[in-house]
Amino acid sequence: MKLFHEVPDTQAIMLTRGAYRQVPVYYRGERVYVKYGSGFVRLMAHGGTSCPNVRWDDMEQHDKIVRGVGKFSEPVWKGPQ
């Protein structure tokens, strides 16, 4: 079973109904997530997430998180599993 692992020194800014908040970033396999409330939300392309009412605005750069061209390409974890 793959568990969630925190990405050191990396934060993301999330937006929910006009309110911004800064949250820690995690990975599970190659997917990137953020801690949100008591659970986790997956980050997707174009600022989307696995939760329809939540969007991501920005994320600190990390050498193991790869994004394609453009600010909102889906982030992918390329570090050790």
- Sketch the domain layout of the chain as residue ranges: 5-77
**Could you tell me the pLDDT band of residue 69, with boundaries at 50, 70 and 90?**
low
Residue 72 predicted with pLDDT over 70: no
Residue 73 neighbours by CB under 8 Å, 6+ apart: 45, 67
Total-model pTM = 0.85
The answer to whether 41 and 49 have CB atoms below 8 angstroms apart is: yes
Q: Is 28 helix (H, G, I), strand (E, B) or coil?
A: strand
Phi, psi (rounded to 5 degrees) for 72: -110, 25
Q: How many CA atoms lie within 13 A of 1 on its CB side?
A: 2
Judged against a pLDDT cut of 70, whether residue 71 lies above it is answered with no
